[in-house]
Structure 1
């Protein structure tokens, strides 16, 4: 019951995020904001994540999971309600910032709670459900954004109502706290982050890669495609393929990782994802070919975030899970900001197959890291 409540809350969070990105872009475009200002405005959510991250671990240890989920959820639903009140660049930027803060609190607490209570043999399945429900919510979000044609305030009001319904279910959960020991209690936050990075940096590279990939596909591929003379209709046909592949294969990959071994599944998935993207450059004149490449890529690397967290939880003792989940969120946000910017610069100076080559190269580097790096043993050493 606890798992299903948590993943349901995450799906509503995904829906509000998936709605907000296109909705605010549409409204700001209608109100005459330039595309560069629109793009800069979208970074507010990731800035919120980075701002709040250093202050979350201690409150989670002190107050537990439920209060943090409730506070994060309340910040999100209140921010959504406030959007229709005033059309202002700065006001909306601040609200987006607060949604980033609230969402990160909610995701940090739910991720850590699920990794904490999930037994090793079911951790992949449970976290893939987390990723699956978020992905479904994120995919449904743009449909909610289309209600702006009826009334500008309607999508905001509906998403805040859904957030409120999800928020109420948290009251039925019994609070729990992350596991601590004397060593972790005495150690500083910086020391815990350093330890976490030392023992799980290979797993932590996966949320970064996923953030880079997701933001690049949705933010820069349309620009690249238009320069390659791919029509808007074909772009809107190709883009969902990655999300569809991710949603359909999120749970199977999680279950396979429980049965066949996390590292084996990750190495295979990242390599096949890299090959899918490098293959896509040979199909720039074929919408069906690009759809197939994006679908196959989504099948294998659309689960990098949830599989990365699962692998990280395998490498760390429970006392370091809060720090690990926090670093995952930070690295995902950094990847989400670095991806569109770096790829934007690359395609500005080199067109050809530069988009696919860059993405494929990143995934191949992750493949090499996973294949040739042997994780350090920590379970015995970190607790003493």
Structure 2
């Protein structure tokens, strides 16, 4: 059933935009990248815990992935402009493959920290180049559909990733080598694509000038990446604390967390299509308000699992597409030669949000109440919707 559904989604979304073969291969890159990240996060934590590593050291080791992602954003734009999308994606995949092959070779926490940095750099490079390639090669009327397909692909891959943990029964090499094999197969397909580069402006500009222009012209679309990173990291880190404090069992918490991702997967494509038809600003404001209402209602659901799950589906469905829709909206507004800079700023803001979410959530839980994490999320999404009413930038990009 899943296979049939994915086929329908791909066939529907690939009718327009980039050449079907190119978009199909790029989507496959993201599915495998999502599978890798979805597997590595819990797998490495489990293996380190088995070896007796403390929980705080385990958490610090996991942060290496996000450090790698964050640091990459300060230099990735230049190689993409110089060499094109394809080489950057291939190098990123190569780094992830290398790290996957080395993880089981030496189970030492310091060594794994370095390997996780490499995975973060590789993932960041291939995601940046892939999403930018899709955005820049999609016509405006199908841009929302195509970039939300990117988000769906990552969500599907990330959801399937943890299944790889079951391969530990064949030995520690099983999960890592299987993931590397998937990457190698996609890498072979990627070699068939013709390389492309981002458009250049009429004259070269300093990075800070391009960044200032992007921030001035597209501040509202770019806020979405900050909010998405904050929401995702806050829910993954703080909801388990909330659940335990209100009396939910650990298995129930483990079941509820993926439900938000299910809502996001269900609504990614419809929101993308609607944004193409009625405008991305209207969709973002409406989604933000509905998401804010859903988050606000969660504490009133008590311990009713079905009601919490329903609210999670609504909240995830509404705000789970924020990153991809924000990129599509920025692409509508900005000249094409500024899109690489916009993607860099979006990725930096996502990383900042991912770091801030658990810290702010943990603080409000400690000094206020567990329910405060949802009131905080509701408040920031209402602020986002109100700020959208002040945003009046006209479309300037060529389509």
Q: Specify the TM-score bucket, using the shorter chain as the normaliser.
A: over 0.9
What is the rounded CA distance, in whole Å, between the counterparts of 2:356 and 2:55 in structure 1? 18
Hey, what does 1:155 align to over in structure 2?
A: 175
How far the C-alpha of 1:315 sits from its partner, in A, is: 1.5
Instruction: Indicate conservation of the 8 Å contact 2:298/2:374, yes or no.
Output: yes
How far the C-alpha of 1:279 sits from its partner, in A, is: 0.6
Hey, what does 1:339 align to over in structure 2?
A: 357
What is the rounded CA distance, in whole Å, between the counterparts of 1:270 and 1:103 in structure 2? 28
What is the rounded CA distance, in whole Å, between the counterparts of 2:311 and 2:267 in structure 1? 15
TM-score if structure 1 supplies the norm length? Answer: 0.95
How far the C-alpha of 1:147 sits from its partner, in A, is: 2.5
Counterparts in 2 of 1:164 and 1:131: CA distance versus 1, 3 Å: same
Deviations 1:159-212 (A, max 9, x none): 1111111111110100111111222xx211111111111111111110111111
Hey, what does 1:34 align to over in structure 2?
A: 54
Question: Which of 297, 312, 320 is 2:315 aligned to?
Answer: 297
Q: Secondary structure at the match of 1:164?
A: helix
Deviations 1:95-139 (A, max 9, x none): 111111011110111111111110000000000110000100001
How far the C-alpha of 1:233 sits from its partner, in A, is: 2.1
TM-score if structure 2 supplies the norm length? Answer: 0.92
What is the rounded CA distance, in whole Å, between the counterparts of 1:24 and 1:305 in structure 2? 27
- Asked if 1:206 corresponds to 2:224, the answer is yes
How far the C-alpha of 1:149 sits from its partner, in A, is: 4.2
Hey, what does 1:58 align to over in structure 2?
A: 78
What is the rounded CA distance, in whole Å, between the counterparts of 1:303 and 1:118 in structure 2? 18
Counterparts in 2 of 1:69 and 1:352: CA distance versus 1, 3 Å: closer
Deviations 1:279-338 (A, max 9, x none): 111012211110011011111111111111111111111000100111111111111111
What is the rounded CA distance, in whole Å, between the counterparts of 2:86 and 2:303 in structure 1? 51
What is the rounded CA distance, in whole Å, between the counterparts of 2:287 and 2:102 in structure 1? 42
How far the C-alpha of 1:378 sits from its partner, in A, is: 4.9
Hey, what does 2:199 align to over in structure 1?
A: 179
1:77-226 to 2 correspondence within 5 Å?
77-183=97-203, 186-226=204-244
RMSD over aligned Cα atoms: 1.4
Counterparts in 2 of 1:352 and 1:325: CA distance versus 1, 3 Å: closer
- In the alignment, structure 2 segments of 5+ residues that lack a partner are 1-20
What is the rounded CA distance, in whole Å, between the counterparts of 2:248 and 2:228 in structure 1? 25
Q: Which runs of 4+ in 1 moved over 3 A?
A: 376-380
Deviations 1:346-372 (A, max 9, x none): 212222411211111121121122233
What is the rounded CA distance, in whole Å, between the counterparts of 1:42 and 1:341 in structure 2? 15
Hey, what does 2:377 align to over in structure 1?
A: 359
1:227-306 to 2 correspondence within 5 Å?
227-306=245-324
Which piece of structure 1 moves more, 25-34 or 166-175?
A: 25-34
Q: Secondary structure at the match of 2:53?
A: coil
Hey, what does 1:307 align to over in structure 2?
A: 325
Which piece of structure 1 moves more, 269-278 or 161-170?
A: 161-170
Question: Which of 342, 346, 350 is 1:328 aligned to?
Answer: 346
What is the rounded CA distance, in whole Å, between the counterparts of 2:201 and 2:293 in structure 1? 44
How far the C-alpha of 1:17 sits from its partner, in A, is: 0.6
Question: Which of 49, 57, 69 is 2:89 aligned to?
Answer: 69
Instruction: Indicate conservation of the 8 Å contact 2:331/2:397, yes or no.
Output: no
Aligned residues: 378
